[in-house]
Amino acid sequence: MKFVSFILSIVFMFCIYVPVHAQQSPFTVKQKQAIDLNGDGRKEVVELFARKSQYYETGWKLVVDGKDVADFDSNGTYILAEMKFDDLLQDGKPGILLYFETGSSGGTERLVIFKKFENQFKQIFDNPVHRDKHRFSTKYLGNFKVEFIDKKTGMKGIIPINPKERYPDFSLKQADEHLKNMIKDFVDPASNYRIENVGGNKPKDIITMQRVSGIAHVDEIARFETRYSFDNKNQKYVPAKVSLYSYDAKKHVAEKPYN
> Residues 228-251: pLDDT tens digits?
999 999 999 999 999 999 999 999
pLDDT at position 106 is: 76
Residues 121 and 10 both lie in one domain: yes
The arithmetic mean of pLDDT across residues 151-169, rounded, is 97
The arithmetic mean of pLDDT across residues 3-30, rounded, is 51
Question: Given pLDDT bands bounded at 50, 70 and 90, which one contains residue 24?
Answer: low
The pTM assigned to this predicted structure is 0.87
pLDDT tens digits for range 48-89: 999 998 889 999 999 999 999 999 999 889 999 999 999 999
Please state the domain count of the chain.
2
The arithmetic mean of pLDDT across residues 172-181, rounded, is 96
Residues 18 and 89 both lie in one domain: yes
Q: How many helices (H) and strands (E) does the chain have?
A: 4, 16
Residues 92 and 156 both lie in one domain: no
Q: Which residue range(s) make up the domain with 187?
A: 136-257
Residues 156 and 242 both lie in one domain: yes
Average of per-residue pLDDT values in the chain:
90
Residues 34 and 123 both lie in one domain: yes
Residues 12 and 69 both lie in one domain: yes
Q: What sign does the CA torsion over 83, 85, 88, 91 have? A: positive
Q: Is the pLDDT of residue 34 over 60?
A: yes
- For residues 214 and 216, give the distance between their C-alpha atoms in angstroms, rounded to a whole number: 5
Residues 216 and 111 both lie in one domain: no
Residues 149 and 176 both lie in one domain: yes
Residues 118 and 49 both lie in one domain: yes
Q: What single DSSP character describes residue 7? A: H
Residues 14 and 112 both lie in one domain: yes
Chosen domain end from 91, 106, 127: 127
The arithmetic mean of pLDDT across residues 131-140, rounded, is 92
